[in-house]
Amino acid sequence: MTEYIADVEIPDSRLAQDATELIRETTPPVIFHHSRRVYLFGSLQAAARGVSPDPELLYVAALFHDTGLVPPYRSDGQRFELDGADQARAFLLAHGLSEGDADTVWTAIALHTTPEVPYRMAPEIAATTAGVETDVLGLHLTDITRARIDAVTAAHPRPDFKRQILQAFTDGFRHRPDTTFGTMNADVLEHFVPGFRRGDFVDVIKNSAWPE
């Protein structure tokens, strides 16, 4: 039987079922519920903007977008967004999807913390960022009815979410602080990791190997 939450259909293909089972079993509840909300809010924001992302691709992008914060997906040497993007791409290819579809989902995850740019790209990429920005930052909430917001949070509650997601961010990349250079992730470490000093773009230019 098809499941709907806030009038949004939850994909029920074998691919979507496998993704749901995998992410539910390998990530903590805060990540799983947040990721499902990202799909729902991303779908609702896309509808409000008159765009139609492929539901299955958006669903996989949403479910995998924060996997790079936690083991077994978390690495040591690259941005957490790339960890999740790489995992999602491998998952889709293993399930027989095309390189093009896998690349779209990879890009949606890789860019989900980059302001503005995703909205100029494919619907799945734009909707992933829109879902993240709605759930984490509270952006564009007024574009969704109160009844639908309540339906989403009834299905996937967010008690203590602000504290828990900030803790997940901190734990997810405090061991690889250099990967936060030039990103909003550096804000998290500056708030929660004593002694952290963000990289400075001006210093990089002034101290580069180029002679004057």
Which domains does the chain carry?
Answer: 4-160 (1.10.3210.10)
Q: pLDDT tens digit string along 54-101?
A: 999 999 999 999 999 999 999 999 999 999 999 999 999 999 999 999
Q: Do 195 and 174 meet the contact criterion of CB atoms below 8 Å apart?
A: no
Q: What is the pLDDT of residue 102?
A: 98
- Of the candidates 42, 38, 71, 23, the one whose C-alpha atom is nearest the C-alpha of residue 168 is 71
Q: pLDDT exceeding 90 applies to what percent of the chain?
A: 99
Binning pLDDT at 50, 70 and 90, where does residue 172 land? very high
CA distances for 42 relative to 49, 115, 209, angstroms: 11, 15, 43
pTM: 0.96
Distance CA 60, CA 113 (A): 17
Q: What burial letters (b/e) apply to 64-89, b meaning 16+ CB within 10 Å?
A: bbbbbbbeebbbeeebbbbbbbbbbb
Q: What is the pLDDT of residue 212?
A: 85
